[in-house]
Amino acid sequence: MKNTWKSGIITLFPGMFPGPLQHSLAGKALDKQIWSLDTFNIRDFSNDKHLKVDDTSYGGGEGLVIRPDVVHDALLCAEENIGSSEQIQFIYTSPRGKPFNQDMAKEWASNKSGIVILCGRYEGIDQRVIDYWSENKNLMEVSIGDFVLSGGETAALTILDACIRLLPGVLKNEKTASIESFELDLLEFSQYTKPCVWQNRVVPEVLRSGDHQKIAAWQKNSAETITKNRRPDLWSKYLIRTNNKNC
Ligand code: ADE
């Protein structure tokens, strides 16, 4: 049997999936069953004859809040179909969550046999179901950045994309993942291709020299300079990790 990495998405908009992930690397991997996708429409778990899933907020306010009982049933159904919290990472996408990063993507792609993502919408989801699943089922609230999206679906697509490309057999050259941004707390070095001269800009001579040692040194220096200039936060982490006292 194939060792497929499973994903389950709990959403009010199942039509948004697989969306961009049906194309390119992720799309090919989906066809090859390296990963699978199941969507769970929150509306299917409504007990209301009009399929209502939300209600007015206690304490007032304009927006509607999604009911805890409806979301709980959707989560239970995903758990039954995708896997328990020992095998699967449960995630709730929200701007209040823990910032998503490459280490999380790596952990979820390698240690877990898949993820279930609950996509937030409107004003939010009743806090009690988030608390219950965080305390009992290892649900993690995750944000993809300090900005507010109109819903958690695009955040879910982003998280899925970052995990899928790390699954064995997805990247053509598995080595590619180990030289890219955020590996070793460095941003990626600059890349060049033909033509050698474009708009009076010449590809650095060393990259055309064929000297692999010099090329590696140039790439390291490029990655370090870019990280130092653009991301002082990453640069500090890098310095601590490499114990570099020269800078
Ligand atoms: N939903 C709305 N904004 C979000 C964000 N920044 N990250 C994750 N989910 C969200």
Q: What is the CATH number of the domain that holds 216?
A: 1.10.1270.20
Q: Is residue 173 part of a domain?
A: no
| % pLDDT > 90, the chain | 87
How does residue 62 score in pLDDT terms, banded at 50, 70 and 90?
confident
70 shares a domain with 31: yes
Measured in Å, residue 99 CA sits from the centre of ligand 1 at 10
- What was the pLDDT predicted at 177? 56
Q: Check whether residue 103 and residue 220 sit in a common domain.
A: no
Does any domain span residue 192? yes
What's the total number of domains in the chain? Answer: 2
Last residue of a domain, one of 95, 130, 164: 164
**Residue 174 located in a structural domain:** no
Considering just the CA atoms, what is the radius of gyration of the chain in Å?
22
Band of residue 209 on the pLDDT scale cut at 50, 70, 90: very high
- Please indicate, yes or no, whether residues 149 and 242 belong to a single structural domain of this protein: no
Domain boundary among the residues 106, 137, 164 is at 164
Residues 148 and 229 in one domain: no
Q: How far is the CA of 20 from the centre of ligand 1 (A)?
A: 18
Residue 140 has pLDDT above 90, yes or no: yes
Q: Is 214 a domain residue?
A: yes
Q: Which atom of ligand 1 is nearest to the CA of 150?
A: 2
Q: What is the pLDDT of residue 176?
A: 57
Find the 201 Cα to ligand 1 centroid distance in Å. Answer: 40
Shared domain for 134 and 46, answered yes or no, is: yes
Residue 94 Cα to ligand 1 middle (Å): 4
Q: What's the confidence (pLDDT) of residue 174?
A: 66
User: Do 150 and 64 lie in a common domain?
Assistant: yes
Mean pLDDT score of the chain:
94
Domain boundary residue among 164, 188, 205? 164
Rounded Cα distance, 172 and 191, in Å: 18
pLDDT at 229: 98
Looking at the structure, do residues 69 and 129 belong to the same domain, yes or no? Answer: yes
| Residue 133 domain flag | yes
What would the 3-class secondary structure string for the chain be? CCCCEEEEEEECCHHHCCHHHHCHHHHHHHHCCCEEEEEEEHHHHCCCCCCCCEEECCCCCCCEEECHHHHHHHHHHHHHHHCCCCCEEEEEEEEEEEECCHHHHHHHHHCCCEEEEEECCCCEECHHHHHHHHHHHCEEEEECCCCCCCCCHHHHHHHHHHHHCCCCCCCCCHHHHHHCCCHHHCCCCCCCCCCCEECCEECCHHHHCCCHHHHHHHHHHHHHHHHHHHCHHHHHHHHHHHCCCCC
The answer to whether residues 189 and 158 belong to one domain is no
Q: Please, which pLDDT band fits residue 121 given cuts at 50, 70 and 90?
A: confident
Q: Atom 5 of ligand 1 has which residue's CA nearest to it?
A: 95
133, 201: one domain: no
- Quick one: 142 and 199 in the same domain? no
Domain CATH for 57: 3.40.1280.10
Q: Within this chain, do residues 146 and 70 fall inside the same structural domain, yes or no?
A: yes
Residue 114 lies in a domain: yes
Answer whether residue 30 is part of any domain.
Answer: yes
Q: Which domain holds residue 70?
A: 5-164
Is 21 among the domain residues? yes
Provide the strand spans (E) within 80-155.
88-99, 114-119, 124-125, 139-143
Residues having CB within 6 Å of any atom of ligand 1: 93-95, 120, 143-145, 147-149, 152, 155
Reply yes or no on whether the pLDDT at 26 is more than 80.
yes
Would you call the peptide bond into 14 cis, given omega within 30 degrees of 0 as the criterion? no
Same-domain pairing of 72 and 106 = yes
